[in-house]
């Protein structure tokens, strides 16, 4: 190995270790700043549902619940739409409309989250309150998910706004993954008598599934950490409810809302511990996603490519 190659390898390795060191430093600082809350509440902090700064009682479970449920709801809404957009743009759209639609989809990713929040308050929430929620209550009201007062804002609104925000991320990456599939895959399926949809489903989607799952994971990562737009439409009430119509709260939102109001050390420490929990939840979910991708793409023993 030449001197230049050795220098390049050392510099690249240094950059990689800097990322690891930065993550460790962030985790260390969060743990250090939340030590007061950890010492007083212990693991009860994770399962307590009471958040009462006046009486110095703090529990993170409503915020963990709101973060996870709103993100899962966003994926349920966004993934089918994103895959539909990606398949249309990569496999079916004529060239005259492919570029304009692709540009518009990518433009959605550049819209500031506060703009999504304003749109959610003034446009989406009234539509949910007047049209969507009454329809869901009338048709699916026997389920606990669609019962209770209809505010417009709430868990459903938070999930919808997150779905809109992660849709361009998932669709753009999925489109690039689908375009990277070799044309021989499509031609082989068509030559064997498959229809166009069968060729896409069997040859293209199966070939690109690892990349699509990676796109979904990136979208989930953004949904877990999104703050401003969710804060404006989710209702900001630390409660756990089975209804999607109920007001809720998230970990990122409570930090943004109350950090400036933390007037004593325990309050500030509890908010910092929630930030640490958000880091753990995000890392855990992304790690599970990466393991899932690895499990899908690994080649079984005895199979040769």
**Predicted confidence pLDDT, tens digits, the chain (305 residues):** 677 888 888 899 999 899 999 989 999 999 999 999 999 998 899 999 999 998 899 999 999 999 999 999 999 999 999 999 999 988 888 888 888 888 888 888 888 899 999 999 999 999 999 999 999 999 998 999 999 999 999 999 999 999 999 999 899 888 888 888 888 888 888 888 888 888 888 888 888 888 888 889 888 888 888 888 999 999 999 999 999 999 999 999 999 899 888 888 999 999 999 999 999 888 887 787 777 667 655 544 443 33
Residues near 192 by Cβ (< 8 Å), separated by ≥ 6?
none
Residue 9 to residues 2, 19, 54, 85, Cα–Cα distance (Å):
11, 16, 55, 40
State CA 126 to chain mean position distance. 24
Domains of the chain in start order, with CATH, are 63-297 (1.10.3720.10)
Are 129 and 152 a contacting pair, CB within 8 Å?
yes
Torsion angle of alpha carbons 126, 127, 132, 133, nearest 10°?
Answer: 0
Alpha-carbon distance of 43 to 62, in angstroms, equals 15
Q: What is the pTM of this model?
A: 0.87
Structure tokens at 20: 């690891």
Residue 51 region by backbone torsions, left for phi larger than 0, else alpha for psi between -120 and 50, else beta = beta
């Amino acid at each position: 190995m030449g001197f230049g190659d050795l220098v390049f390898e050392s510099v690249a390795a240094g950059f990689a270790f800097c990322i690891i060191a930065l993550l460790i430093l962030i985790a260390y600082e969060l743990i250090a700043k939340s030590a007061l809350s950890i010492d007083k509440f212990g693991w009860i902090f994770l399962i307590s549902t009471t958040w009462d700064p006046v009486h110095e009682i703090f529990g993170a479970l409503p915020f963990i619940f709101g973060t996870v449920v709103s993100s899962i709801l966003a994926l349920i809404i966004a993934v089918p739409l994103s895959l539909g957009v990606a398949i249309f743009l990569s496999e079916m759209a004529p060239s005259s409309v492919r570029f304009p639609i692709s540009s518009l989809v990518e433009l959605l990713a550049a819209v500031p989250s506060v703009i999504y929040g304003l749109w959610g308050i003034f446009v989406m929430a009234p539509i949910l309150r007047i049209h969507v929620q009454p329809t869901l209550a009338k048709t699916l009201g026997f389920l606990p998910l669609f019962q209770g007062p209809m505010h417009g804002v709430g868990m459903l609104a938070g999930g919808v706004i997150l779905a809109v925000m992660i849709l361009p991320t998932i669709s753009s990456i999925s489109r690039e993954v689908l375009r990277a599939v070799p044309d021989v895959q499509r031609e082989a399926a068509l030559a064997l008598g498959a229809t166009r949809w069968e060729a896409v489903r069997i040859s293209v989607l199966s070939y690109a599934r690892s990349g699509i799952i990676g796109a979904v994971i990136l979208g989930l990562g953004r949904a877990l950490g999104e703050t401003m737009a969710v804060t404006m439409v989710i209702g900001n009430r630390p409660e756990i409810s089975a209804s999607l119509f109920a007001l809720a709260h998230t970990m990122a939102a409570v930090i943004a809302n109350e950090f400036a109001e933390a007037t004593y050390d325990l309050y500030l420490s509890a908010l910092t511990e929630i930030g640490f929990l958000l880091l753990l939840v995000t890392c855990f979910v992304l790690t599970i996603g990466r393991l899932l991708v690895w499990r899908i793409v690994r080649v079984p023993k005895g199979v040769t490519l």
